[in-house]
Amino acid sequence: WWLRGSLAALSRDLAAKGAPLLLARGRAETVIPALAAAIGAQEVQAGRAMEPWAREQSRRVHEALSAAGRALHLHTTVVLREPHGFASGSGKPYAVYTPFAKAMLTTEPAAPLPAPERIAGVEPPAGGERLEDLALYPVPGEPDWAAEFPAAWQPGEAGAQARLARFVAGALGSYAEARNIPGIEGSSGLSPHLRWGEVSPRQVWHAVRAASRGASAETFLKEILWREFSYHLLWHRPEMPERNLRAEFDAFPWTRDPALLAAWQQGRTGYPIVDAGMRQLWRMGWMHNRVRMVAGSLLVKHLLQPWQEGAAWFADTLLDHDLASNSASWQWVAGCGTDAAPYFRVFNPVLQGEKFDPDGAYVRRWLPQLAKLPKAFVHKPWEAPEGVLAAAGLRLGRDYPRPVVGPAEGRARALAAFAAL
């Protein structure tokens, strides 16, 4: 946002001096060389992006700058180490997470550099810019669909640093156990900040290392390494967001069903832990990681819908949507990734709910129609006796749906489909 504000201010200043510069909607290979020429920069320093489209953009910017006698220097920012310089003993990229993580842990990532007090030749606009004046996104109307987004993310570096400090001082100590309990704040909440570059993985890594060397810290850093692994996979396998990394899954018998997909997207599957997660996602732009895995498993295994549909929905709704992590995690759940969950691992949504939300606190928050059910039935309301349902004021099929596919039927269908590969 500051960069966009700086460009807008620079454009006005240059125009006032008789040197107009169009920056609002130009392509990067046009805008960046023009900006470099306007301020007399011989070099452009930038972070290296990993997404396929961003790599192509960087290539075009490099060519345009080179043609003008200027240079583009890309730096390590969104990852701990550059994928193109990190390989196994055989010289090939890692395809399995565990050996990748072990190799990454043999040496500590480089410590982050302190921020410079100023950058010569680049000054913030006098008086600053108001975010709303930049019209970066439409302001929601009524109802305000983004009203609960601030609970998951306070945009900006200050918000990222505050969240990191809160995590290392609090939830980090119990992260190994608490991260799996969706009804409490047991995770770091840093994923949107990492996604949007408001904090770097190196900053997070060293802050955690400085705070603790215990089991919970090690568990958390392994999650950072899963993110890292996902980026390395994307770098070497740019087709990962669309195509199965294991070719045999190209023949998988998905049973596309728009009604089932819509029920999943809207939190109407009849499985409370999944529906609570999908409604949390819609209202907050974020979903607890354990619930993401359960919801993903239900979609691709019980419902036999293509993993790409789930990945696309997460891309549309997550504040922390990250092309690398989203693609790698969906392929892991579906079993078609290079390092995937075995096909016979089918999450039972009832047992997952009872294990990680035993009192139903998470379900009751996001599905208030189930709030009065006793905990014995909050994760399987279809098994509750009529008297219990009546006492809870719940009418199955009207206030809350029955399962779109039965638990045993869904598992059997999944095993049959996966075993046929």
- Can you tell me the distance from the alpha carbon of 415 to that of 95, in angstroms, rounded to the nearest whole number? 25
The catalytically annotated residue of 51, 218, 289, 382 is: 289
Task: State yes or no: is 282 an active-site residue.
Answer: no
The catalytically annotated residue of 264, 330, 332, 366 is: 330
Return the exposure string of 51-85: e unless at least 16 CB atoms fall within 10 Å of the residue's CB, then b: beeeeebbeebbebbeeeebebebebebbbbebee
Q: Shortest CA distance to 234 belongs to which of 289, 320, 242?
A: 242
- Can you tell me the distance from the alpha carbon of 394 to that of 270, in angstroms, rounded to the nearest whole number? 13
Task: State yes or no: is 1 an active-site residue.
Answer: no
Where do runs of H (alpha helix) occur along 248-348?
258-265, 272-284, 289-297, 307-317, 323-334
The catalytically annotated residue of 235, 307, 332, 366 is: 307
Secondary structure element (H or E) that encloses residue 31, with its range: helix 28-39
The pLDDT of residue 421 is: 81
- From the number of C-beta atoms within 10 Å of its C-beta (0-12, 13-18, 19+), residue 17 rates as exposed
HSE-up of 4 (CA within 13 Å, CB side)?
12
- Can you tell me the distance from the alpha carbon of 68 to that of 51, in angstroms, rounded to the nearest whole number? 26
The pLDDT of residue 113 is: 87
HSE-up of 214 (CA within 13 Å, CB side)?
11
Q: Shortest CA distance to 1 belongs to which of 121, 131, 119?
A: 131
236 in Cβ contact with 83 (< 8 Å): yes
Task: State yes or no: is 382 an active-site residue.
Answer: no
- Can you tell me the distance from the alpha carbon of 48 to that of 79, in angstroms, rounded to the nearest whole number? 9
Task: State yes or no: is 326 an active-site residue.
Answer: no
38 in Cβ contact with 21 (< 8 Å): yes
Give every CB contact of residue 387 below 8 A, 6+ residues apart in sequence: none
* Residue found by looking up tokens 């354990």 in the block: 290
The pLDDT of residue 21 is: 41
The pLDDT of residue 137 is: 59
What's phi and psi for 75, nearest 5 deg? Answer: -120, 160
Q: Which domains does the chain have, with CATH numbers?
A: 2-75 (3.40.50.620), 79-109+148-236 (1.25.40.80), 247-419 (1.10.579.10)
The catalytically annotated residue of 196, 223, 282, 313 is: 223
The catalytically annotated residue of 196, 226, 282, 313 is: 226
- Can you tell me the distance from the alpha carbon of 242 to that of 225, in angstroms, rounded to the nearest whole number? 23
The pLDDT of residue 122 is: 60
- Can you tell me the distance from the alpha carbon of 374 to that of 68, in angstroms, rounded to the nearest whole number? 71
DSSP SS3 for 46: strand
DSSP SS3 for 265: helix
Task: State yes or no: is 223 an active-site residue.
Answer: yes
The pLDDT of residue 132 is: 66
The pLDDT of residue 140 is: 66
* Residue found by looking up tokens 């680049």 in the block: 122
DSSP SS3 for 70: coil
User: What residue ranges of the chain have pLDDT lower than 70?
Assistant: 1-26, 120-129, 131-132, 134-140, 341, 343
- Sequence letter at residue 34: A
- Can you tell me the distance from the alpha carbon of 380 to that of 272, in angstroms, rounded to the nearest whole number? 7
The catalytically annotated residue of 148, 218, 254, 282 is: 254
The pLDDT of residue 151 is: 87
Q: Shortest CA distance to 252 belongs to which of 308, 314, 312, 325?
A: 308
Question: In this structure, what DSSP letter does residue 214 have?
Answer: S
Task: State yes or no: is 307 an active-site residue.
Answer: yes
The pLDDT of residue 345 is: 81
